[in-house]
Amino acid sequence: MSKFETLVDMRNGTQQKSVFYDRDIYELELERIFARCWLFLTHESAIPNFGDFVTTKMGEDEVIVARQKDGSIKAFINSCQHRGTQVCPAEAGNAKGFVCSYHGWSYGIDGKLENMPFEKELYKCKVDKSKHGLVQARVESYHGFVYGCFDDDAPSLEDYLGEMKWYLDVWMDATGGVELIGPPSRSILNCNWKTPTENFAGDAYHVGWTHAAGLKVMPGPLSVLSGNAVLPPTGAGLQVTTRHGHGVGILYDAGPALMSDMIEEIFAWQARKKPVIEKKLGALRARFYGSHLNSSIFPNNSFLWGTNTFKMWAPRGPGQIEAFTWAIVEKDMPADLKEGITRVMHRTFGTAGMFEADDSDNMETMTHVNRGFVTRKGKMNSQMGLGGDRVDPDLPGVVGDSAIGETSYRGYYRFYQEILNAKTWDDVRANNADWFVPLLGEQTAEEARKAAAA
Amino acid sequence: MTEVTTPAPSPVRASESLRSEVEAFLYLEARLLSTAQERLWYTQMLHPEIRYRVCSRQLRSSKSKRYDQPNEVFHFDDDINALDKRVDQIESGIQWRSDPPETLMYIVSNVEAFEDEQGGDVRVYSNVIMIRDRRVYESDQYHYRREDVMRRGDDGALRLLERNVVYGQRMVQGKNLLFFL
């Protein structure tokens, strides 16, 4: 058994601290996670017209994402097939194609190699241009959110999102659609890429304590949590983890609680739209619409619905990330409401965000204290609620019945270990029937199977 | 979104005495912000109608004219109430990240002042290097351009009415901008 196969104790909800530090683990993550999973690229609203493009990261790979003539979207690696130079230094724009700044090789908006200067005069050997296009990734969209994947063997984006779609549909679709307001803010954090992702996937526990000061000075429905003065009451929320490690935590009815001077306006907007959503999805999911959702899509894409922040955490080695932050707005909101949400989102969860900076300190130290040899031999604990997770007839995924718990941590790291172990996606698919067993224990899992069969 | 523009300098360069007054204002501000006197800065140096903005621009080709998505992201877009909350947070005593306290140093340079022909406001340009030392191992440098407007209050003293910070470093290296620029 390799040292990589026992990083996570799925049954007991612990992880080795070395997952935040070890360079060998990181290299395996690049190969088996970032070159294999669906990774967030952009939102369709950022590239509406033929020739529009943005540049972004897939893991550490730099990619160009471009709208094609037929309306489809392609993504390809931003590295010339001649000597490897970046072919596009801009973050966004509209172009007919991309010309390498080194020798002038030029590529079409579809990534195909079109021209090499003095090809006839200088290239004695025949270079087959059709085989020297920029390296392509698969591209698929879900409700306008565009993801890319380097693995042809991976499931479709829809299958990859799986049960998570049921939760995403509430705000991505039933609202009439959303869009991301860019450009993103971009900042460097000296932390491992999993530290913010696990936090957004499943950590309501830290809110009252980490953000004590922000909650205290920004009046709103969650201010009472400041300094852990009170616990959210029983039934205040729940946590969910799904097949491919995606997780969501729901704090009922809290919606825009952190949105400062926009709270009332957003609550009023939601109150007007809620009946429409209830008609489409029923009362339970309409309640999600007005709730606060913290969530991560495995491996490195997070969002807060309610606080309306959308994040991508691009890894830069085991000890550093680049954080990309966009605002989420509903398409049919008036311009001033979109602008207000964007303004307040950056004030709370942007680069100068009054909440964001509290988190980044925690994420950085939990990464770098593992320089210590003895330190990183230790384990991290995510056992809160262990033994209580269950399958629910109405809620897809594995459910933890509390606003605060660590169900989604356990689900995130269960899949993390599974995909690190897997030689191909077939190894992952082989676990489709029983993926939840380590989270539930045999007995509960057996009950879950019976319930599913009935 | 409103564009943060670099307006053409007004032809009326401020008198030497006004220029020194403006420079003293910026130095006092730097000293208050680097000696944990943010509340004094807030009450004595800000105009109640202040608009305080810090902007980064997305990097685009100067030839790319056909792409019309917004190109500015505002890290700060605050009025007097939002700034009050930020000072409250610093003063709360429960902001774990700022204890042990940080050490800030502002170096303010290239100060130019111009009198606005209309309302008696003063337009002020300056460049800033700010160094933040915190914890045992962290030392980060931030550098940016300011375009300010100052207006006299009832007491005749200058107050900050507009701050527009042009933050050129696209990817903020010092992890956050949680200080007053």
- Token pair listed for A21: 């530090």
Q: Which of A52, A203, A246, A346 is catalytic?
A: A203
Q: pLDDT of B114-127, one tens digit each?
A: 998 777 899 999 99
Q: Residue A305 — pLDDT band, cuts 50, 70, 90?
A: very high
Statement: residue B131 has pLDDT above 90: yes
Mean pLDDT of chain B: 92
Check residue B9 and give its pLDDT. Answer: 56
A132 among known catalytic residues: no
CA angle A445, A385, A440 (to 5 degrees): 10
Check residue A447 and give its pLDDT. Answer: 79
Q: pLDDT of A318-328, one tens digit each?
A: 999 999 999 99
Please, where are the H alpha helices in A148-262? Answer: 157-161, 164-172, 194-202, 207-210, 212-217
CA–CA separation, A376 and A39 (whole Å):
28
Residue A15's beta-bridge partner residues? A8, A380
Listed by number, the residues of chain A in 71-100 with a beta carbon closer than 8 Å to a beta carbon of chain B are: 89-95
Backbone angles phi and psi of A427, in degrees to 5: -60, -35
Interface contact flag, A181 B76, Cβ < 8 Å: no
CA angle B167, A215, A289 (to 5 degrees): 90
- Token pair listed for A347: 């004030």
Statement: residue A175 has pLDDT above 60: yes
Statement: residue B6 has pLDDT above 70: no
HSE of A371 in the Cβ direction (CA atoms, 13 Å)? 6
Q: Which of A153, A206, A332, A434 is catalytic?
A: A206
Return the percentage of chain B with pLDDT > 90, whole number. 86
Q: How far is CA A290 from CA A219, A278, A287, B78, in A?
A: 18, 11, 5, 26
A346 among known catalytic residues: no
- Token pair listed for A310: 């959308």
Please, where are the H alpha helices in B10-64? Answer: 16-33, 38-45
First to last CA, chain A: 38
Mean pLDDT of chain A: 95
A401 among known catalytic residues: no
Q: pLDDT of A149-170, one tens digit each?
A: 999 999 999 999 999 999 999 9
Question: What ipTM was assigned to the predicted interfaces of this complex?
Answer: 0.94
Mean pLDDT of A422-433: 97
First to last CA, chain B: 21
Statement: residue B173 has pLDDT above 80: yes
CA–CA separation, A182 and B71 (whole Å):
7
Chain B nearest C-alpha distance from A383 (Å) = 25
CB < 8 Å to B85, chain A: 217-218, 260, 354
CA angle A101, A185, B167 (to 5 degrees): 80
Statement: residue B1 has pLDDT above 50: no
Determine contact, residues A300/A314, Cβ cutoff 8 Å: yes
Determine contact, residues B101/B36, Cβ cutoff 8 Å: yes
Confirm or reject contact between B170 and chain A (CB < 8 A). yes
Check residue A124 and give its pLDDT. Answer: 86
Q: pLDDT of B15-72, one tens digit each?
A: 999 999 999 999 999 999 999 999 999 999 999 999 999 999 999 998 878 999 999 9
CA–CA separation, A360 and A196 (whole Å):
8
Q: Which of A211, A244, A292, A346 is catalytic?
A: A211
Mean pLDDT of A402-426: 97
CB < 8 Å to B54, chain A: 352
Mean pLDDT of A378-391: 95
CA–CA separation, A377 and A35 (whole Å):
28
Confirm or reject contact between B103 and chain A (CB < 8 A). no
CB nearest A352 (choices: B1, B171, B178): B178
A206 among known catalytic residues: yes
Check residue B2 and give its pLDDT. Answer: 43
Task: Return the beta strands (E) in chain B as ranges.
Answer: 46-57, 72-78, 103-115, 122-134, 138-152, 158-166, 171-172
- Token pair listed for B150: 């100052």
Return the percentage of chain A with pLDDT > 90, whole number. 91
Q: pLDDT of A330-358, one tens digit each?
A: 999 999 999 999 999 999 999 999 999 99
Q: pLDDT of A214-272, one tens digit each?
A: 999 988 888 888 998 888 888 899 999 999 999 999 999 999 999 989 999 999 999 99
CB < 8 Å to A339, chain B: 1
Q: pLDDT of A353-377, one tens digit each?
A: 999 999 999 999 999 999 999 999 9
Chain A nearest C-alpha distance from B166 (Å) = 14
Interface contact flag, B89 A354, Cβ < 8 Å: yes
Residue with tokens 């491992």: A192
Determine contact, residues A176/A192, Cβ cutoff 8 Å: no
